[in-house]
Amino acid sequence: TSLPRNRLLHWGPIFALSITFYIGTVSTYFAIMWWPLTTLGGFLNLALFFFWNYSTMVNLARASFIGAGHVPLGWTPDEKVPKQEESFDALLQWCEPCSGYKVPRAHHCSNCGRCSMKMDHHCRKNS
């Protein structure tokens, strides 16, 4: 579930992405100074630095842009779920404010007014 672009375009994610980009650029510069590109090892070292810097930036941007996800309003468990030792309904909890079921590991957020997985959607580094 994607959120609006304004989730990414404010000081928190922009600051975190900028710091990450700066640290990656400086560390790549010093890696080239330490191990010149004229050798195979230096080229492989630079390729690994670029790969890790790119991976870090992409994953941080995705964590900032894509939300943690919400339990859909009106969600009810599927009746076709196989019953185990304890009933499936015993694993689910009812959320009074949402008037619906909460999936495992979801909690009601008073800021959003929705149930969210793991409550990590208001991390100041990502939101």
At residue 2, the 3 state secondary structure works out as strand
- For residues 10 and 29, what is the distance between their CA atoms, to the nearest angstrom? 28
As annotated, the active-site residues are 123
Pairing of strands 100-102, 93-95: antiparallel
**Which amino acid, residue 98?**
C
- For residues 17 and 48, what is the distance between their CA atoms, to the nearest angstrom? 19
